Amino acid sequence: MTRPHRVAAIQMVSSAVVADNLAAAGALIAQAVDDGAELVALPEYFCILGNHERDKLAVREALAEGGRGGGPIQAWLAETARRHRIWIVGGTVPIDCGSDDKILNTSLVYDPAGACVARYDKIHLFGFHRRHEDGTVEQFDEARTIAHGTNGPTVVDTPLGRLGLSVCYDVRFPELYRGMDDVDLILVPSAFTATTGKAHWEPLLRARAIENLAYVLAPAQGGRHANGRTTHGHSMFVDPWGEVRGVLPVGPGVVAGDLDRERLRECRGSLPALAHRRLA
């Protein structure tokens, strides 16, 4: 019998100051490690949630290659993984894509030696427009400053299990996850809006867990940010039967749980839906 592996989602209320966000993330990672976490996942925009849409362009980094290059955010992720001897899923980092006006919103995975072993560039970019009853307009258009990724589905094999990478708005597109063959843990680092999160966050996460018979770990931004934006929070750990094993409504903190291979086998054995698929 294989032992369970402790995994943790970090919830943050990030600001426009990268150094402050890294310090806050570091303290929460240390808390998760003290609880036995072997893998820690950070939320989307963990390193910067700016006062203006274009703020993230100013802190973009070239992607480090072979342990060289990159920038301070990637260096911090590598050093933190190495110091704690854990796997880190680095939420998202603004990565240069060769455009003056756009970046890639990139999730990076680091092993316990501090090596970057996987990269996923967010494919689906959030767009939203709603006029509320009080006359205020809420709107988002990520495509104005973010380039669409092209490298999904992205799966990485680890001693804990097979990890499937996605980011926030991707969770609305189940076809991405259908391409993650035999994935054990789906990552969904997010910064869901309060409006859409209240309506859709939990059912979407539970649906992705149920239909893929996989664990889902969803670290989120959660609270009122300095720029006036409110994010939904409710960082969540969901098991392959769709049961919510841990959730944090709002505010900084940690949601942890056990990735249990026996539980995966139990769910997939009693309901072998993945083996019953007939459409590619």
Residue 108 contacts residue 118 (beta carbons within 8 Å) = yes
Q: How far apart are CA 155 and CA 269, in angstroms?
A: 22
User: In whole angstroms, how far apart are CA 78 and each of 48, 86, 117, 177, 216?
Assistant: 18, 10, 11, 27, 24
The helix/strand/coil state of 222 is strand
Residue 172 contacts residue 192 (beta carbons within 8 Å) = no
Q: Where are the alpha helices (DSSP H) in the chain?
A: 18-34, 72-84, 174-178, 194-212, 261-270
Angle at 46 between CA 42 and CA 48, to 5 degrees: 170
Q: How far apart are CA 239 and CA 267, in angstroms?
A: 9
Active site (catalytic) residues: 44, 122, 168
Q: How far apart are CA 43 and CA 21, in angstroms?
A: 11
CB atoms closer than 10 angstroms to residue 83: 14
Q: How far apart are CA 22 and CA 101, in angstroms?
A: 25
Distance spanning both ends of the chain, measured CA to CA: 33
